[in-house]
């Protein structure tokens, strides 16, 4: 019997309208940045996609001035109903250009097209729609009669969900009347610069949104800039701590959304087949490049063997390869550095005695790929149980009782998300109260909605994004 081979179904890269070069966006125009241009590459092939102009410290100054002018002159004075119109327009334009954005995102980031197309881009549009709805209702958000914007927001976003994180940051800032200077990640600047085109298309007043590609030093200049009122950062805990140190003692407001090492807890009475799906979705979604990924599986000892067996079977069916292929489940690791980091941590797992299982799926020769990996016999004392791996690597631990599950789940410096799998409703509620995590999913994982606040505890950061709570981070209340 021949094997059931799915034919390649690649999306055309022509849809991305890829240009040779991209430029920073300041005061409504694409400008030549005075920083050293960087080359952004396709992590699935290692080919150069485009040259991107970057900002220097002086450009940051120009952008902040433009943002301040737009804030004082137009944006903060504009009635909420008018601001809403711009946001709705941006949301519709994201939808209209969704295929272009999805393909471009997959090219630049390495994530599978089915995720950029079905998750990233639609959710980004949803955030603008949702916040557009709030723009004229801020007096009714429960913060008193006249909540005021903060001013100019400096925003720094990571490479794992480039467009979506941009939406999470820009939509609430604009809805509440702030103007922004945003720095996309060094390895994934392209969709942010297409978003700048969308701002032009929407005829957003100049200076309301400024986008400055660049490396960490530009992020640092934004954080240090005296005329910025608010810093919003999503990224690594290490950088987050540095930012917090820098901002301490200044009047700047700060929200941080940092790393995670989420526990996905499976009880013996769980719907097992769906739990296995949730485990897979929890850790292998976006190659595990998810700060709230369910990277620690806590499974009750009585079913551990069965779950592991089912998990191996299921993970073996995941298809790794060309991100533009609609049949691809797992795309490329975003960069060579990240791949090296994942390898290093996996080796530490081997060295510390965890039992490694790797999916037998074929892995492409070119590009940065890492086959889905599951570690069994992991213990709390191992690095792979404590440190964020940020890759398709799952650590499996076991527990005996609900109390032990809570103790182990909470035994981490992080606290962004958690998952509970059980058919017992009372246990879900009890567990959700015990777990120190910003989001707790029950019988599902990695579900996002603009109306649901997202954020962390402890080293996973503070402040919330999304929902009514998320607005507070951009309001003087």
Partner 1 sequence: MTATTSTSAAPATPAPLVEATRDDASLRRFLLGLPGVDQVGVEQRAAGLGTRSIKKDAKRWAIDTAISMVDLTTLEGADTRGKVRALAAKAVRPDPERQDTPRVAAVCVYPDMVATAVEALEGSGVHVASVATGFPAGRTSLEIKLADTKIAVDAGAHEVDMVIDRGAFLEGRYMAVFEEIQAVKAACGDAHLKVILETGELATYDNVRRASWLALLAGGDFIKTSTGKVSPAATLPVTHIMLQAVRDWHAHTGELRGVKPAGGIRTTKDAIKYLVAVHEVAGEQWLTPDLFRFGASSLLNDLLLQRRTQVDGHYSGPDYVTVD
Question: Which listed range, 138-146, 265-273, 294-302, 405-413, lies at the site for partner 1 (CB under 8 A)?
Answer: 265-273
Report strand pairing: 439-442 vs 38-41.
Answer: unpaired
- 305 touching partner 1, by CB under 8 A: no
- 1 touching partner 1, by CB under 8 A: yes
Dihedral sign, CA of 199, 203, 209, 214? Answer: positive
- 12 touching partner 1, by CB under 8 A: no
- 425 touching partner 1, by CB under 8 A: no
Do residues 252 and 155 make contact, with C-beta atoms less than 8 angstroms apart? no
Dihedral sign, CA of 168, 173, 175, 179? Answer: negative
Residue 328 token pair: 């691809």
Query: Which CB sits closer to partner 1, 303 or 416?
Result: 303
Give the separation between CA 190 and CA 325, rounded to whole angstroms.
20
- 277 touching partner 1, by CB under 8 A: yes
The conformational region for residue 367 under phi > 0 = left, psi -120 to 50 = alpha, else beta, is left
CA-CA-CA-CA torsion for 225, 229, 234, 238, nearest 10 degrees?
50
Of 72, 250, 327, 377, the one binding partner 1 by CB under 8 A: 327
- 469 touching partner 1, by CB under 8 A: no
Is 197 annotated in the active site? no
Do residues 207 and 174 make contact, with C-beta atoms less than 8 angstroms apart? no
**Which x/- pattern over 433-452 shows residues binding partner 1 (rule: CB under 8 A)?**
----------xx--------
Query: Which CB sits closer to partner 1, 142 or 362?
Result: 362
CB 322 to partner 1: min, Å: 12
Query: Which CB sits closer to partner 1, 340 or 429?
Result: 429
Catalytic annotation, pick one of 105, 186, 291, 472: 291
- 317 touching partner 1, by CB under 8 A: yes
Is 257 annotated in the active site? yes
Give the separation between CA 73 and CA 78, rounded to whole angstroms.
9
- 9 touching partner 1, by CB under 8 A: yes
CB 419 to partner 1: min, Å: 12
Give the separation between CA 159 and CA 166, rounded to whole angstroms.
10
Residue-by-residue DSSP string for 115-175: HIIIIIHHHHHHHHHHHHHHHT-GGGTTS-S--EE-SEEEEE--SSSHHHHHHHHHHHHHH
Question: Which listed range, 2-10, 30-38, 61-69, 180-188, lies at the site for partner 1 (CB under 8 A)?
Answer: 2-10
Query: Which CB sits closer to partner 1, 94 or 270?
Result: 270
Catalytic annotation, pick one of 105, 257, 388, 459: 257
Query: Which CB sits closer to partner 1, 40 or 264?
Result: 264
Residues binding partner 1 (CB under 8 A): 1-7, 9, 114, 269-274, 277-278, 309, 313, 317, 326-327, 423, 443-444
Any idea which residues carry the catalytic annotation? Answer: 257, 291
């Amino acid at each position: 019997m021949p094997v059931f081979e799915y034919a390649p179904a690649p999306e055309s890269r022509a849809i991305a309208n890829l240009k040779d070069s991209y430029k920073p966006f300041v005061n409504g125009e694409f400008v030549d940045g005075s920083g050293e241009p960087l080359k952004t590459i396709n992590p699935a092939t290692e080919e150069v996609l485009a040259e991107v102009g970057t900002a220097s410290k002086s450009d940051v100054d120009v952008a902040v001035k433009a943002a301040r002018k737009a804030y004082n002159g137009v944006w903060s004075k504009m009635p909420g109903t008018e601001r809403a119109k711009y946001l709705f327009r941006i949301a519709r334009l994201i939808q209209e250009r969704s295929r272009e954005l999805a393909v471009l995102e997959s090219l630049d980031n390495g994530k599978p097209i089915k995720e950029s197309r079905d998750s990233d881009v639609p959710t980004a549009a949803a955030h603008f729609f949702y916040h557009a709805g709030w723009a004229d209702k801020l007096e009714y958000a429960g913060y008193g009669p006249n909540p005021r914007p903060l001013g100019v927001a400096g925003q720094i976003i990571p490479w794992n969900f480039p467009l979506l994180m941009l939406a999470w940051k820009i939509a609430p800032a604009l809805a509440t009347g702030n103007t922004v200077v945003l720095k996309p990640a060094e390895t994934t600047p392209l969709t942010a610069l297409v978003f700048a085109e969308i701002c032009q298309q929407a005829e957003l007043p100049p200076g309301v949104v400024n986008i400055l590609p660049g490396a960490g030093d530009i992020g640092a200049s934004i954080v240090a800039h005296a005329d910025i009122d608010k810093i919003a950062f999503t990224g690594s805990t290490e950088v987050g701590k540095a930012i917090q140190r820098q901002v301490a003692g200044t009047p700047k407001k700060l929200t941080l959304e940092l790393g995670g090492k989420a526990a996905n807890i499976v009880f013996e009475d769980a719907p097992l087949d769906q739990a296995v799906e949730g485990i897979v979705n929890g850790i292998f979604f976006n190659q595990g490049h998810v700060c709230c990924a369910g990277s620690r599986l806590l499974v009750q000892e009585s079913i551990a063997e069965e779950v592991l067996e089912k998990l191996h079977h299921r993970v073996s069916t995941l298809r790794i390869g060309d991100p533009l292929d609609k049949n691809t489940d797992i795309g490329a690791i975003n960069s060579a550095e990240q791949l090296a980091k994942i390898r290093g941590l996996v080796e530490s797992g081997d060295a510390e005695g965890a039992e490694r299982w790797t999916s037998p799926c074929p892995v492409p020769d070119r590009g940065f790929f890492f086959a889905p990996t599951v570690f069994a016999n992991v213990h709390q004392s191992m690095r792979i149980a404590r440190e964020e791996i940020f890759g398709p690597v799952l650590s499996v631990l076991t527990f005996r009782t609900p109390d032990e599950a809570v103790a182990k789940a909470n035994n981490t410096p992080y606290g962004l998300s958690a998952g509970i799998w059980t058919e017992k409703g009372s246990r879900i509620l009890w567990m959700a109260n015990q777990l120190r995590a910003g989001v707790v999913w029950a019988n599902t994982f990695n579900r996002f909605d603009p109306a649901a606040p997202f954020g962390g505890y402890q080293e996973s950061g503070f402040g919330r994004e999304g929902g009514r709570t998320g607005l507070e981070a951009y309001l003087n209340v």
